Structure 1
């Protein structure tokens, strides 16, 4: 079904939550063995031990049509649920452009993304969502940043849906619940091509939209492109830094 263009700005609901335990492991999906390591680096540092000399606010983007309905109820670092796919560890660092790019401790970070088939949880089978998923809450989660400014999740590599390049939605709040930024994270296309050629992704095939043709990323991904390392056999690690005014 043809996708509609998204509105380029959006805000999610605000709420507070408590910190939860460290990352737990998930069962790997059965995949075709591949020992080649793929990687792509951001143009802005994702190294929490090095403060960049200068930084600018990460692009504000739409929250899309499928934001988490009650983020405070999904305080979890393992967001896999029953979804199958190539394992992905997500590490997001939050930095403050108003404080010499210093990391922000105790920031609230919500993420959500689609599964290998391009479906989102919590939404019905109408419009852009082809299957009713109203009763499930997979691939959504909230975390607070640690002393390194990092929030982390155990997930699977996102799939894609028509008209959009692979992406993860992110909403950042300060510790008091004030919204700081809604944005999206882009993926390196060379890594996505490897992932989509195997396992549960293969039947869906390769993404039909590149980053350059995507309606969100077409204006550039210099501060939205993630660094992704690993392989389909070992799983991948995504690292990304988001800059906000706090």
Structure 2
């Protein structure tokens, strides 16, 4: 996954369950089925979370291997990016251990979790260097413009390799904060200090997800969409499923790209 996909599916995340939406995938078969439907709708890659038997967030190499194997069988052309999200359950050492054991094609890593304290962190620096050397596509998850600036400083100081992929998170899950398209401005201003060839994408919490992602596309970024961040249509009504959200986004993108859409 050296090239960041235009549309990445995030079908479940770490917190929501089927109690929040009956179409949210929890088991590996459900995740593969959701990915398959969303792939047919236009999603190009999967951002994957796995759950335990009680549908709780889990960082587990064995379950990830099972998911990756099932995805390779069912959807060999759809890359899988795993998460290291802590959700207050895992330490940075446990996050690093997962990646070292699994050696996935792609992984998302929140800077604020992996390198929480200011100043040098030899263990974190070693992890980022190892991941780069192993050819793992690491996407830095950034929740605010000041985190973009911090990432740029760590790179300029030679404390970690040049960032290749980043994700800008708009809005918040807790406390619930609706994403706003204009939030991208601060992120992109701060991102001027990153390498010129860095690939970026955005995800957005709440029913404004589609509007935020459309703006990201207009500005040259990728889009991460799915029930991890939003289970509503733009009008606030419940979404049908992940594939329906992807299909609606693709429909608007195609309409805007058509000559008729450009005239409007």
Aligning the two structures, in what range does the TM-score lie when normalised by the shorter sequence?
under 0.3
**Looking at both structures, which has the greater relative contact order when contacts are Cα pairs under 8 Å and sequence separation is at least 6?**
1
Larger Rg, first or second structure (1 or 2): 2
Bigger helix share: 2
TM-score by length of 2: 0.27
